[in-house]
A and B are shown apart, each in its own frame.
Chain A
Amino acid sequence: MNRPVLALFCLLVGTSAGGAGTIKPADVQFSDGAVAASLTGAAGNVQEGRKVFISRKLGNCLACHANEDMAKQQFHGEVGPSLDGVADRWDEAQLRGILINSKETFEGTIMPAFYVDGGFPRTKEKFKGKTILSAQQLEDVLAYLVTLKEQ
């Protein structure tokens, strides 16, 4: 890489990333509940997303949503809608927005916001100022969700 190109590259990463290449929770831009830009600037990893989806410590998405693609996992929840074919019903930007803060799409929903880092009363000290998922984990779950198509 010659020097001017390298400089331009650094500048682009520096501005679009807001630090370590990720969009901070406060800087997320919603449009009708949808978020077009990847939080990491890149596509997520489907296999990692599957793990985050299942993990009770991370996404724990199965707590509330049934998912036929994970039939081998025990105990699918019924609080939210089934996610079978979810990618037929919502596009990628809409799904990203729902994961980041579902209240931008569904007013008053029980679903937690997975990429909001404050504003919740009495948050436990160890979770203060933190998001439930990292930008990478959120993009990974999103990459997995867009594979859930029935049509």
Chain B
Amino acid sequence: MKKRAVFFRALLVSGFAVGMAGADENAQLVIEGETLVTKAAAPAHLQDNLDEIYSGWVFRSNETQALQLDDFDNPAFVFIDAAMDQYQQVEGSADKSCQSCHEDVEEFKGLRTQMPRIVDGKVQTMEDQINKCRTEQMGAEAWKYTGSDMTAMSALIGFQSRGMAMNIKIDGEAKPFWEKGKEIYYTRHGQLDMACSNCHEDNYGNNIRADHLSQGQLNGFPTYRLKNAKLNAVHSRLFGCIRDVRAEPYKVGSDELKALELYVSSRANGLSVETPSVRN
């Protein structure tokens, strides 16, 4: 409860005192008539630390928020369209495209809500699944983990689940990986000696210089960032945060970042998938 009070006070401060076009805490994310869940009760595993979870959309300026309300305004759809072309592109020794096996991309509806998941005793991210198809089914070369082709395809597949609730499995086989990710989340790293939680759990809603700190939720990824005018993969973002606290980042596609992605994704359980979201 205290957290929530701090959060709304912070929104007020950022809106008026700092003179930014502050986020409207009551704004609703409605896309093509569908209302997405941007605020929800924290999932059970988080309830000791947070009462409520908020999409990063809630923390953005009115202008940035507006870009996500209409798919014609959302710059990410240029990349989604390109991925749709790629989806039909025959590649590799098996002479197949994605479409050869998955006729309608809509068959991936729901997949994004569960990713990452555990397959064959390891964390499988959306990127892993895409490369598995490319190498094992198509006989094509694996894509670079955070390359533009990969991120666009991940966004196209994720988009099929837009509006559905994030539902990451954290027990059973997932448990040890989830615990590992949680440990990384709460460990202070680098010369600035900061953990993910210092900013995204203890200080969300506060401004850090010009940046309005969010809860660092992953339900909108891949996300179009105004900062670099392209789609950004989860691991690029995690890498960037760790670098910014002057720590040696875990490698993109590493077991550590996959475990962290699994854990952080589970903090969004209950929020709608927003892929492809727009952030600054």
Bind each other: yes
Which of B14, B194, B207 sits near A110, CB closer than 8 Å? B194
Q: Tell me the smallest distance from the CB of B142 to a CB of chain A, in Å.
A: 27
Query: What A residues does B10 contact at CB under 8 A?
Result: 78
Tell me whether A9 is interfacial, beta carbon within 8 Å.
no
Overall SS of chain A's interface: loop
Size category of the A interface is 20 to 34
Whether the pair B209, A121 counts as a contact (CB closer than 8 A) is no
Which of A62, A77, A123 sits near B190, CB closer than 8 Å? A123
> In the bound complex, what is the Cα–Cα distance between A124 and B247 (angstroms)?
5
Query: What B residues does A75 contact at CB under 8 A?
Result: 18, 207, 209-210
Greatest chain B CB density within 10 A among A110, A113, A132 is at A110
Tell me whether B248 is interfacial, beta carbon within 8 Å.
yes
Whether the pair A79, B246 counts as a contact (CB closer than 8 A) is no
Query: What A residues does B248 contact at CB under 8 A?
Result: 122-125
Overall SS of chain B's interface: loop
Q: Mark B179-210, 1 if CB is under 8 A from A, else 0.
A: 00000000111111110001100110011111
Q: Mark A51-85, 1 if CB is under 8 A from B, else 0.
A: 00000100010111000000000111111000000
Q: Tell me the smallest distance from the CB of A91 to a CB of chain B, in Å.
A: 25
Given contacts A110-B198, A112-B193, A127-B190, contact A122 B206 (CB under 8 A): no
Whether the pair B209, A120 counts as a contact (CB closer than 8 A) is no
Query: What B residues does A24 contact at CB under 8 A?
Result: none
Q: Tell me the smallest distance from the CB of A30 to a CB of chain B, in Å.
A: 17
Query: What A residues does B209 contact at CB under 8 A?
Result: 56, 60, 62-63, 75-77
Given contacts A112-B194, A127-B246, contact A121 B206 (CB under 8 A): no
Whether the pair B190, A76 counts as a contact (CB closer than 8 A) is no
Which of A74, A121, A130, A132 sits near B188, CB closer than 8 Å? A121
Whether the pair A110, B202 counts as a contact (CB closer than 8 A) is yes
> In the bound complex, what is the Cα–Cα distance between A74 and B191 (angstroms)?
26
Query: What A residues does B243 contact at CB under 8 A?
Result: 124
> In the bound complex, what is the Cα–Cα distance between A75 and B9 (angstroms)?
17
Q: Mark A98-113, 1 if CB is under 8 A from B, else 0.
A: 0000000000001011
Please name 5 further chain A to chain B contacts, defined as beta carbons within 8 Å, in addition to the given A77-B207, A78-B207, A120-B188, sorted by A numbering.
Answer: A77-B208, A78-B206, A79-B213, A123-B190, A125-B248
A-B contact pairs, 28 of them (CB 8 A): A56-B209, A60-B209, A62-B209, A63-B208, A74-B210, A75-B207, A76-B207, A78-B10, A79-B203, A79-B206, A110-B202, A120-B191, A120-B193, A121-B187, A121-B188, A121-B190, A122-B190, A123-B190, A123-B191, A123-B246, A123-B247, A123-B248, A124-B191, A124-B246, A124-B248, A125-B248, A127-B191, A132-B192
Which residues of A come within 8 Å of B, CB atoms?
A: 56, 60, 62-64, 74-79, 110, 112-113, 120-125, 127, 130, 132
